Structure 1
Amino acid sequence: MSAIDHYINAIIVQGKAEALADGSAAIEPHHLLLAIASIEENAARQALAAAGLDRQAIRDALDKEFEHSLSGAGVSLASFRLPTPTPDPKRSLSIGASTKLALDRAIGGATGKKDLRPGHLLLGILQAEIGTVPRALTLAGVDRAALMASVRQALANGSW
């Protein structure tokens, strides 16, 4: 396996752990984003950190998005105490459709597998126009376009 294969595998394994921890039925892009921010010493993590997005900031943004989505349906988290998710390590999780699209965008962003870098995976996640990740980043005040531009620039410069 190549270095990028190991990286993608590590991100998916960590993404699965994130999904299990929050009781999700599938591995979604926000789980991969949390995984990228959790894997030490990688360029994609550094790009997120430069935008003020460490793992905790991403978790906070996702929590804010969840609360905002519930409030749109007239549900206030302040009024209800939600149960803590019960992780089931025996649960078999699939890769969600949005994650498959993010992976396809990542692969399509490289000129070939040998050119695939962690930044392509990050871009594949960030390029979604709708969904949890863009809503969470918007609510957190992150300039997603600027973040994507900086990742593209780093990829173009070969600094990944």
Structure 2
Amino acid sequence: MSAIDHYINALVLQGEREARQDGSAAVEAHHVLLAIAGHEDTAARRVLLAAGLDRQAIRDALDREFEHSLNAAGVSLAAFSGPPATPDHKRRVGMGASLKLALERGFGAATGKKDLRPAHVLLGILEAEVGTVPRALAQAGADRAELIARVRATTANESW
């Protein structure tokens, strides 16, 4: 397996842990965004950190996005006091649609597999125009267009 294969595999496995922790049925793009933010020593993580988006900041933004989305549907999260999701560590969660699309976008941004870098995965996630990630980034006060520009610049210069 190549270095990018190992990286993507590690992200998907960490994303699966994130999804399971959330009680999610699938690994979605926001789970892998959390994984990228926690994956040491990559340009993708450094771009996030430079924008003030460490793993905890992203988690907080995702929590605010969830509450905001519920409020938009007329549901108050504060009205419920149930326990957090109980993770089922034995259940394998599948890859969700938002992650599949993000990977397609990211892979499509590279000229070929030999040119694929970790930042391409982040680029594919950030380029989603609708969904959880763009709403969470807005909740965090992040400029998605600026992040995309930084990641694009990074993909041109990133090496293993």
TM-score range, shorter chain: over 0.9
- Deviation string 1:18-56 (CA, Å, 9 cap, x unpaired) is 001010000000000000011111111111000110000
Matched residue pairs, number?
159
- Deviation string 1:62-104 (CA, Å, 9 cap, x unpaired) is 0000000010111112222132100001112110011111111
- In the other structure, the counterpart of 2:112 is 112
Distance in 2 of aligned mates of 1:154 and 1:55? 20
Q: Which has the larger displacement, 16-25 or 79-88?
A: 79-88
Shift in Å at residue 61 of structure 1? 0.2
- Structure 1 residue ranges without an equivalent (≥5): none
- In the other structure, the counterpart of 1:71 is 71
Distance in 2 of aligned mates of 1:29 and 1:154? 20
- In the other structure, the counterpart of 1:80 is 80
Distance in 2 of aligned mates of 1:154 and 1:106? 13
Matches for 1:3-152 after TM superposition, within 5 Å: 3-152=3-152
Structure 1 counterpart SS, 2:77: coil
Distance in 1 of aligned mates of 2:63 and 2:82? 13
Kept in 1, the 8 Å contact 2:117–2:158? The answer is: no
Structure 2 counterpart SS, 1:78: helix
- Using the size of structure 1 for normalisation, the TM-score is 0.96
- Using the size of structure 2 for normalisation, the TM-score is 0.96
Q: Which has the larger displacement, 39-48 or 77-86?
A: 77-86
